[in-house]
Amino acid sequence: MKRVFCLFSLSFVFLAFNPAADASSACESVTAENPGPTADCLVFMEAFSGPNVEPIALDRYTLSFYSFWRVGPDAVNLYDGPGGSMVGQIPPGFNFVRALDTSVDDWLQIEGGQWVSRLEAELTQPSPFRGVQLSNGLERPFAWVVDTTGIYASEYPSGPPSQATGRVPLRYEIVNIFAEAVDSEGWTWYMIGADQWVNQRFVSVIKGVERPEGVSGRWVAVDLYEQTLVAYEDDSPVFATLVSTGLPGWDTNEGVFTVWARLEVDGMSGATGAPDAYALQSIPWIQYFDNDISLHGTYWHDLFGYRRSHGCVNMSISDARFVYQWLGDAEPDENDDVQHYVYVHSSGTYTNQQG
């Protein structure tokens, strides 16, 4: 039931949220009936106003050097030079190209050497979003805000957005979770500050997971329910971020996989001639793990935390580079072998809807 809008009952069952004993003891008295924090809880929230995390570095090279353009959705003619002869077409679909030369007025030279009219292309700015390194693992629960509406938090679970909270959780803001309450419809509400509550639809929570049998060293866990990825060194979580996995009909498969191919950059295309056709040039930092399904950088959307793909695990360009290089630096085992594991799972039951 992840992030699907509905009406709510005012009947609640409170659940203790206890991944860290100090958080639980400080705020354990917070309930649905008494949602106001105690003095001890207020002190704790003030001491830990934000998660102990550090953003990774931006992939400034890819973000600044590459020039990505949306073309279509109708067929786009290809030329052998600016104003030259037509030499082919890009078929209709969800298509993006990388421009190699943008210096000629009204024309773009794209990967492959052909030219397209700039009038049929729109410049795309890749997302600067990036995940975080975990200084102390997952000792305290935290989440990313994924809501795009920019509304006020609620004063209590199930309450309406309230200006009195003084808090507008902004998209991609990282927030601590100090308590939670679940309503009778099954929706979870998180306390992110004093008298500040948000519904589960508006956040993606970073949750730990046990290491699957047979997996060791460096591996990543993709949570389909929360739309997150956590990287582990054996049992220690070291990095977390938001992702976008497969839409209904292109669901990302659950299971334990090994990366079978790694490419710094490559193109992807599929379903040519169909309504859902796509062709994407110069996708960076690709790691294939389930046949043609991969972890990869994404420049064509900025909706991480929501399902958006045809089965792949979409990541921001900076995140994809970090994970690509981090897994690539893994030490070989006693057999002088390196396996890069991807564990795809779901921490909850999610509906076949886009958001």
In angstroms, the CA 222 to CA 220 distance is 7
Domains of the chain: which residue ranges? 12-49+142-205, 67-124, 218-345
Q: What is the DSSP string of 139-152?
A: SS-EEEE--SS-PP
In angstroms, the CA 278 to CA 57 distance is 30
CA torsion sign for 352, 257, 236, 18 is positive
Amino acid (1-letter code) at residue 9 = S
What's the pLDDT score for residue 334?
A: 59
- CA angle (38, 39, 42) in 5-degree steps: 85
Residue 11, class by beta-carbon neighbours within 10 Å (0-12 exposed, 13-18 middle, 19+ buried)? exposed
- Listed range (19-33, 56-70, 268-282, 300-314) with the worst mean pLDDT: 19-33
Q: Is the pLDDT of residue 271 over 80?
A: no
In angstroms, the CA 60 to CA 57 distance is 8
Long-range contacts, stretch 267-270, CB < 8 angstroms, 24+ apart: 267/111, 270/310
**More confident position, 182 or 69:** 69
Return the structure tokens found at 70. 């949306």
What's the pLDDT score for residue 14?
A: 41
What's the pLDDT score for residue 333?
A: 65
Question: Which residues fall within 8 angstroms of residue 199, CB to CB, at 6 or more apart?
Answer: 154, 187, 188, 189, 190
What region, left, alpha or beta, does residue 185 occupy, with left being phi > 0 and alpha being psi -120 to 50 degrees?
alpha
Evaluate whether 90 touches 279 at the Cβ level (below 8 Å). Answer: yes
Q: Once rounded to an integer, what is the mean pLDDT over residues 187-213?
A: 95
- The alpha carbon of residue 22 and the mean position of all alpha carbons in its chain are separated, in whole angstroms, by 29
> pLDDT averaged over the chain?
89
**More confident position, 38 or 327:** 327
Question: Is 172 in a helix, a strand, or coil?
Answer: coil
Beta bridge partners of 122: 70
Query: Look-up: residue for tokens 């200006």?
Result: 163
What's the pLDDT score for residue 19?
A: 38
CA torsion sign for 175, 176, 179, 182 is positive
Q: Once rounded to an integer, what is the mean pLDDT over residues 309-319?
A: 96
Residue 217, class by beta-carbon neighbours within 10 Å (0-12 exposed, 13-18 middle, 19+ buried)? middle
pLDDT tens by residue, 208-229: 999 999 999 999 999 999 999 9
In angstroms, the CA 184 to CA 8 distance is 8
Residue 10, class by beta-carbon neighbours within 10 Å (0-12 exposed, 13-18 middle, 19+ buried)? exposed
pLDDT tens by residue, 3-20: 433 323 333 444 433 334
Q: Which fold has domain 218-345?
A: L,D-transpeptidase catalytic domain-like (2.40.440)
- Listed range (91-95, 121-125, 183-187) with the worst mean pLDDT: 183-187
Residue 120's nearest CA partner among 112, 129, 132, 110 is: 110
Which CATH superfamily includes the segment(s) 67-124? SH3 Domains (2.30.30.40)
In angstroms, the CA 316 to CA 128 distance is 7
In angstroms, the CA 29 to CA 32 distance is 10
User: Between the CA of residue 218 and those of 55, 263, 284, what are the distances in Å?
Assistant: 19, 18, 21
